[in-house]
């Protein structure tokens, strides 16, 4: 499995390999074979946008290779000391949106919180950006699902993606939250317009997984 990134070559955008999967680890395809370990439940959302569970210290080299510039942290607890030190050392901006972990998304997740987090995601100055909660399943899944609504994904595709990352602990309340989330206020957001203008979004060249 190869993780590729969009690279500018003249007037053309092409996909160049960054990481190649070998067994349970990833190795750099540029600059030598350095073992890299992605965070649990890691995935590529779109060009310059990633998702995962809580990164551990062994995942830091992987995040450095991705050149992560910002992190959206969706838990209410303070960032652990080792993670906070890594963020400071790499000049990574940390955006915390404290959402309590609960089986009832309608109770713990507010539209306002999701709207604020989406504004951070849409601001391309924050890219590359990583979204994470504790396990990268429910809170992260809700935010990514609402982001997909901005991209005009159909509901079945949004649910399929949510299930892929949340299994085996799927929460129907999360899927209802995504379905009922009103993105109309974000459609004309200045950052949303900039995001689409610069060619980002699901129809633009982006990071993709391909079979080796």
Cβ(161)–Cβ(148) under 8 Å? yes
Which SS3 state, helix, strand or coil, does residue 92 take?
Answer: coil
Q: How far apart are CA 210 and CA 212, in angstroms?
A: 6
Cβ(139)–Cβ(51) under 8 Å? no
The C-alpha angle with vertex 116 and arms to 112 and 118, in degrees rounded to 5, equals: 115
Q: How far apart are CA 204 and CA 202, in angstroms?
A: 6
Under DSSP, the state recorded for 212 is -
Cβ(118)–Cβ(181) under 8 Å? no
Catalytic residues: 133
């Amino acid at each position: 499995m190869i993780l590729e990134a969009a690279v500018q070559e003249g007037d053309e955008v092409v996909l160049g390999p960054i990481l190649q999967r070998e067994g349970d680890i990833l190795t750099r395809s540029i600059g030598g074979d350095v073992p890299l370990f992605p965070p649990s439940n890691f995935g590529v959302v779109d060009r310059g946008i990633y998702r995962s569970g809580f990164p551990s210290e062994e995942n830091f080299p992987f995040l450095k290779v991705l050149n992560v510039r910002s992190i959206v942290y969706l838990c209410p607890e303070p960032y652990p000391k080792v993670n906070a030190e890594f963020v400071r050392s790499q000049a990574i901006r940390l955006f915390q949106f404290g959402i309590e972990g609960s089986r009832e998304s309608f109770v713990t997740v507010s539209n306002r919180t999701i709207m604020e987090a989406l504004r951070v995601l849409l601001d391309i100055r924050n890219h590359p950006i990583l979204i994470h909660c504790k396990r990268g399943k429910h809170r992260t899944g809700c935010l990514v699902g609402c982001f997909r609504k901005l991209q005009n994904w159909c509901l079945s595709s949004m649910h399929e993606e949510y299930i892929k990352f949340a299994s085996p602990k799927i929460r129907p309340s999360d899927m209802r939250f995504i379905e009922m989330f009103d993105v109309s206020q974000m459609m004309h957001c200045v950052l949303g317009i900039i995001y689409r203008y610069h060619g980002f979004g699901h129809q633009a060249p982006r990071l993709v997984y391909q079979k080796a």
